[in-house]
Amino acid sequence: MKIQFLGTGSGVPSKERNVSSIVLDLLQEQGNMWMFDCGEATQHQILQTTIKPRKVERIFITHLHGDHIYGLPGFLSSRSFQNGETPVTITGPKGLKEYIETSLTVSGTKLKYPLIVEEVFEGLIFENDHFRVFAKKLDHGLESYGFRIEEKDKPGQLQTDKLQQAGIEPGPIYQQIKQNEKVTLTNGQTIYRSDFIGPDKPGRKVTILGDTRFIPSLSSFVRGSDLLVHEATFEHEHENMAYTYFHSTTKQAATIAKNGEVRRLILTHLSSRYQEENYQQLIDEAQEIFDQTSIAYDFYETEIPAKG
């Protein structure tokens, strides 16, 4: 599991930062990728990476401000031109379906793959064999959401030493035991998987929040995340401005991370008023509260290592 930032600025593109888009690489886990927001020129950013648009099969939109959705029509169209044939499901606030349909219809765009648009709501919004995704409503003036991606626990390791002690020699039977609750051997003996397998390996948890004011109760939603991605549009000194414009500061994001007992915090969605010479100050402000803080930049990527 890997996360890659395609755009880390807020409002409008700058020379250093494009507007919001994040890709969660799940190729090893389930053979595809998920995108979170798709700001203007996201498809141009992808050209600087190894990301294949046809591998993006789910898109989660936090809210409908232009810096989070203006790249959608172009990305969807390019995916079609680049041999994307598998369905794409887009989940986001009310109004997203109308925006996409109008953009594609007016431009005469016809996709070569099925497109499903789902309206987001609070709670469990998606589940398959590998993951669950939960949504939480935020405070941003218009409808905005955060998403918590939970990897399901994986079966523990087969304890081959115990199997050999029980007189079961290595072979295909080991795989059968791991995949089935019980297996009957050729001698009639019944083997129960639970007797020969270690504890489950806990799944990873990643939380990606959309634009929001500081909400202290968000700590419970992000609790225990291996990685929290939180906007930090403003420095601490501009806390009042952050509140006025429905955004958060460095220290507010760090407070959510600390109180939520997350492992790592990555700040993104920085105002264009901040340049490279300001970044250390922003990091220092957050690290006063939560040490494991870093700031994302365009094309920054990081692994979320498996547990256990």
Provide the residue-wise pLDDT of the chain in tens; the chain has 308 residues. Answer: 999 999 999 999 999 999 999 999 999 999 999 999 999 999 999 999 999 999 999 999 999 999 999 999 999 999 999 989 999 999 999 999 999 999 999 999 999 999 999 999 999 999 999 999 999 999 999 999 999 999 999 888 888 898 888 888 898 888 888 888 899 888 888 988 888 888 888 999 999 999 999 999 999 999 999 999 999 999 999 999 999 999 999 999 999 999 999 999 999 999 999 999 999 999 999 999 999 999 999 999 999 998 86
Q: How far apart are CA 183 and CA 200, in angstroms?
A: 20
144 shares its domain with 211: yes
Tell which residue, 16, 15, 74, has the closest CA to residue 42: 74
The reported pTM is 0.92
Q: Are 129 and 152 in contact (CB under 8 A)?
A: yes
188 shares its domain with 287: no
Number of domains in the chain: 2
33 shares its domain with 121: yes
169 shares its domain with 79: no
Q: What is the DSSP letter of 179?
A: H
N-to-C CA span, the chain:
15
Q: How far are the Cα atoms of 158, 169, 193 from residue 176, in angstroms, in the given order?
A: 11, 13, 9
**Active-site amino acid positions:** 67
273 in a structural domain: yes
84 in a structural domain: yes
Please report the pLDDT score of residue 308 as a whole number.
Answer: 64
Q: How far apart are CA 308 and CA 303, in angstroms?
A: 15
Q: Which one of 177, 195, 213 terminates a domain? A: 195
Domain harbouring 74, CATH code:
3.60.15.10
What is the domain extent for residue 172?
160-195
